[in-house]
Amino acid sequence: MYTSLQLASDMRALGIGRGDTLMVHSSVKSVGPTENGADTIIDAMLDVLGSDGLLCCATHTWDTVGDTTDTYDPKNSPSCTGILGMVLLKRPGALRSLHPTHSMAVFGRDAEDFIKGEQYCHSPCPREGCCGKLLDRNAWVLFLGVPLTKNTFIHGVEEWCGIKNRLGAPQKRYIVMEDGSLFEASFAPHSAPIPDVSQNYGKLLPIFRCHSITSEGKIGDADCVVCRCRDMFDITAQILSKEPDFFLTN
């Protein structure tokens, strides 16, 4: 049975530290048995980051918003990217961004400023949104028991590099605001010549290893990889400048 202290020690061994911004893609089950489930993992992360750090967890809703509904409700829309972010949102002070399909749960320093303006996003990972702010802060992205095919940040890199055929036609989406009113957004969803371009993001891992930008180890029982956003951006952008369709095959 893992404690938060044990998991925090594992995280520090990967290089994550006080004051960092940490974005997490996770499989809670992969960590193994913990004292209080997902809350133990969150306790460990907040202990490592300290009061001047920022924890971000994916709470995406792309599986429903656009397919089964045109409305995103940050208080009630379930996440399709694991339970960690939804558990984090139960904590006083945690906030959820207003992005209709690629929201984040955030807790810590400057959380309100970090998510500000997400309702005005016109694409899944705009440079001025939360995904772009991860680059501005040179955040860590932690893959906790999940592969790099879950690396939403790379969607952002493709957008910012102007790769063609990655966005569909703009559609109307509605966002439930704090006062209960509906905000009408114009939003272009992901689109590509293949069904899921992110399934090919995993081939970046050996390249990242070759450039020595990964830190790898265990958090509990979970195999983990952690990378800095600036390193991932620089290497991926260089690849895409020569091979724009790099992610269309595996």
Element (H, E) at 126: none
Element (H, E) at 15: none
Strands (DSSP E) contained in 8-131 are 21-26, 54-58, 71-72, 95-96, 104-108
Percent of the chain with pLDDT over 70: 100
Q: Stretch 137-160: mean pLDDT, rounded?
A: 98
Q: Stretch 102-117: mean pLDDT, rounded?
A: 97
Q: What is the pTM of this model?
A: 0.96
Shortest CA distance to 82 belongs to which of 131, 18, 37? 37
- Structural contact between residues 60 and 79, judged by C-beta atoms closer than 8 angstroms: yes
At position 80, the amino acid (one-letter code) is: C
Q: Stretch 92-104: mean pLDDT, rounded?
A: 97
pLDDT at 209 over 90: yes
pLDDT on residue 68:
87
- Structural contact between residues 53 and 19, judged by C-beta atoms closer than 8 angstroms: yes
- Name beta bridge partners: 78: none
Residue 12 to residue 10: CA distance in whole angstroms? 6
- Structural contact between residues 159 and 167, judged by C-beta atoms closer than 8 angstroms: yes
**Beta strand pairing call for 104-108 and 140-144:** unpaired
Residue 63 to residue 103: CA distance in whole angstroms? 12
Average pLDDT of the residues of the chain? 97
What is the separation, in whole angstroms, between the first and last Cα of the chain?
Answer: 38
pLDDT on residue 66:
80
